[in-house]
Structure 1
Amino acid sequence: MRLALRIAAAALSAASVLASAQELKSKVVPVKVTDRVWFVQGQPGMASAANEGYNSNAGFVVTDEGVVVIDALGSPALGEALLAAIRKVTPKPVKRVIVTHYHADHFYGLAPFRKAGADIWAHVGAREYFTSGDAERRRIQRARDLFPWVTDTTPLLEADRWLEGDARFVLGGKPFEIQHFGPAHSPEDLVIVVPDEGVVFSGDILFTGRIPYVGEADSKSWLARIDRLIALKPRLMVTGHGEVSKDPSKDLVLTRDYLLFLRQAMGKAVEDFVPFEEAYKRTDWSRYSALPAFEAANRVNAYGTYLLMEKESLAR
C-alpha cells in the first residue's frame, strides 16, 4: 500500500509540473443536495481547453466515520480541487471513491484521492479498458485537447477493488447500495443509491440539459436501464452531467427520447440501405440542435448508432 501511494504521488507530481504553473479558472464549488449529500457541477458541453476539462459532475456523502466520493472529475488538478471542496464541508477523511465508469472525465482526478489514502472501487468491466490500448489512446487525445491539465504522464489509476456485481456497505451508520447497470453508457456503469437520503447517483446513464455522449454504447440496453432507474423512484438524482434532477422520471425522458430518435433515424437508414453520410444529412436534428454538446457529440453518436443498427440487423 505504501509503495502504491508513493507511485501515485510521484505520478501526480510529474503530471502536475506544467499545470502547476497555472491556476484553474474553474471554480469547483460544493453544492448541498441534502444534509449529508453534496455535489459539484461541471460546465455544459464537451471537455475543452476553455473549460479546463471541467464538464462532468462528482458527488460526496458525509458520514460519521468519513466521506464516500462518487467520481473524481477529469484531471489531477480538478481532483485536487474536488478534494479541497470536500474539506471545506468536513474535516473527515475520504474513505472511499466509487467510479461510476472509466471515462476520462470521471476518473482522471483519482490520483489526489489515492494519495490521501482513499480506496477506489469500480466495476470489473472496466479492466479491459487498461489492456485494450484504449486507455493510452484516450490519454494522448486528452493531452492534446486539455494541455496542460492532462499530459502524457497523467496517471491512469485502476481500482483497488473490482466489483463483479452489486454490492452493499455501511459507513458511519449510513447504508450504501451499488448496483451494476451496464452495459448502458458503458459496460461498467455503476449506480449508487443512498436510500436514507432518497438520492441516487446515476453516472452518465442520465444527462440533464444536454446531449448525452453515446459513442459506441449499447443504446438498446441503455434504454432498458433507464426504465430500471425510473423504477427506483428516487427523490433526487445526481447525474454525471448537468443539474441535480428533482424530478428524475421527467428528466430521464430527454435522454430516453434522444436515444430512441437516434435508433429510429439510423435504423431506418440501415433498413433502406442509405449510406451514413446521406442519412445524417437527411435527418432533421432541429429538436436537439440547440442543446449543449450537440455540435461536438451528435455526429459521433449518430455514426455509432448507425453501426450498432447494422450489427443488430445482421443478427436478426
Structure 2
Amino acid sequence: MSHGPSPAVPSPSAGASPSLGPWEAIGDRTWRAVAEPEAVTIGLVAGSAGALVIDTGSTPAQGAEIRRTAEAVAGVPVTAVALTHAHYDHVGGLAAFRDLPSYAHERLAGHLTDPGLLAALAPYGVTAVDLPAPTRTFGVARAAPLGDRVVELISVGHAHTDHDSIAVVADARLVFAGDIVEPAGPQLGPDADPERWPGALDHLIGLLLRPDWLAYPGHGAPMTMAEVTLQRGWIASILGEVTNLVSDGVRYEDAEQRGDWPFPWPRIAAGVRTAYDLLAARGFAPRDQLPIIRKDVRED
C-alpha cells in the first residue's frame, strides 16, 4: 500500500451506513455474513475451544455487532480474529476485538497508520487509536488453533496489497480469500501488483484443485477453481496489454480507450498505472512513433 497521499481502496460508499446481514452456514461450524456498505464477507469458524472471526467490518460498532452475533450463532466465545488485508472495510472494526489475539501478515501493522486508510475511515469517526496492531503475525503461515480444529492463515504474496493472506478451513473444504479474487473482477488499486498477482493466485488454485473446495472472496459469491483460474488469466493479461500499448507508443492517458481490458476501467485504472510505472522503471516507456511517410516529402 502506498504510504503517500493515495487513498486506500475501496473508499466508503457515498451515503451508506454500516450494517450486518445474517450469518449463513457454509460448512461444519463455519459461517459467513455480509457487512455493508461494501458487501464484505465476514468469516466465522468455531471449534471446541472458541471461534475465529475473519475480518472485522468498517467501524468499531460494526465490529462489536459482528462479535456479539458471531458468539450467538457459534455457541462459543470469539477467542481470536484474523485479517486478510488492511483496507478500511476489513479492519475498521478492530477495536471491538482489542482484548483478543489478532492474526495478520507481518506487514499489515505498518499500514494501519497509512494516510489513505485513515482518510477512508474518517467519515465513520474511526481514528488510528481504533486500529490496534495485530498481536500474532506471520511471514509465510500460521495456525489459529480452536481446540478440535485449526484454521491455517497463509500469505500469498503481493496481489491486491503487499500483505494479502487467506484463511484455510481444510475440514470444511473452503478458503476465505480476502480481496485477491472477486466475482465482479478484482480491484487493482494503487497498492496492487499486477505482475505478481497471478502468482499469488496459484496458492489458492492449488487448494481448490481438491474436490468440492470453494473460495469465499472478500466480496461476492463463492468461486470455484475454474472461476479463479480464469480470473488469474485475465489479471495476467493486464501487464501483457500494457506491454503491447507501450510498444505502440500509447501513453497511460490514452490507455483506457486504446487497450483491450478484461475488467471495467474504474476497477483497474490504478493497477494499469502501476504497470506503466513498472515498465518505465525497466527502461521501457512509450515513445512517439515515426510516420512511415513524412508529410513534407513528395514522391517523384
Which TM class, normalised by the smaller chain length? 0.7 to 0.9
State the TM-score, normalizing by the size of structure 1: 0.75
Partner of 2:108: 126
Q: Tell me which structure has the larger Cα radius of gyration.
A: 2
State how far apart, in whole Å, the 1-side matches of 2:279 and 2:34 are: 33
Match of 1:36 among 29, 41, 48: 29
State how far apart, in whole Å, the 2-side matches of 1:153 and 1:127 are: 11
State how far apart, in whole Å, the 2-side matches of 1:110 and 1:120 are: 9
Match of 2:139 among 164, 177, 190: 164
State how far apart, in whole Å, the 2-side matches of 1:250 and 1:150 are: 41
Match of 1:277 among 253, 263, 275: 253
State how far apart, in whole Å, the 1-side matches of 2:166 and 2:186 are: 20
Match of 1:258 among 221, 227, 234: 234
Higher helix share: 1
Deviation at 1:83, TM superposition (A): 1.7
Alignment size in residue pairs: 267
Q: Secondary structure at the match of 1:205?
A: coil
Deviation at 1:30, TM superposition (A): 0.9
Please say if 1:299 is aligned against 2:248. Answer: no
State how far apart, in whole Å, the 1-side matches of 2:60 and 2:202 are: 34
Deviation at 1:28, TM superposition (A): 2.5
- Code of the residue aligned with 1:160 in structure 2: it is T
Partner of 2:13: none
Structure 1, 272-281 or 99-108: larger mean CA deviation: 272-281
State the TM-score, normalizing by the size of structure 2: 0.79
Q: Does the CA contact (< 8 Å) of 2:179 and 2:186 recur in 1?
A: no
Partner of 1:139: 118
- Code of the residue aligned with 1:174 in structure 2: it is R
Match of 2:222 among 235, 244, 250: 244
Structure 2 residue ranges without an equivalent (≥5) = 1-15, 285-300
Match of 2:181 among 206, 216, 220: 206
State, as a whole percentage, how many aligned pairs show the same letter: 26
Partner of 1:61: 45
State how far apart, in whole Å, the 2-side matches of 1:122 and 1:60 are: 16
- Code of the residue aligned with 2:117 in structure 1: it is R
Partner of 2:197: 222
Q: Secondary structure at the match of 1:140?
A: helix
Q: Does the CA contact (< 8 Å) of 1:280 and 1:302 recur in 2?
A: no
State how far apart, in whole Å, the 2-side matches of 1:168 and 1:140 are: 32
State how far apart, in whole Å, the 2-side matches of 1:121 and 1:99 are: 6
Deviation at 1:253, TM superposition (A): 3.6
Q: Secondary structure at the match of 2:40?
A: coil
Q: Secondary structure at the match of 2:222?
A: coil
Please say if 1:190 is aligned against 2:174. Answer: no
Partner of 2:279: 309
Q: Secondary structure at the match of 1:219?
A: coil
Structure 1 residue ranges without an equivalent (≥5) = 1-22, 44-50
Change (3 A) 1:88 1:313: farther
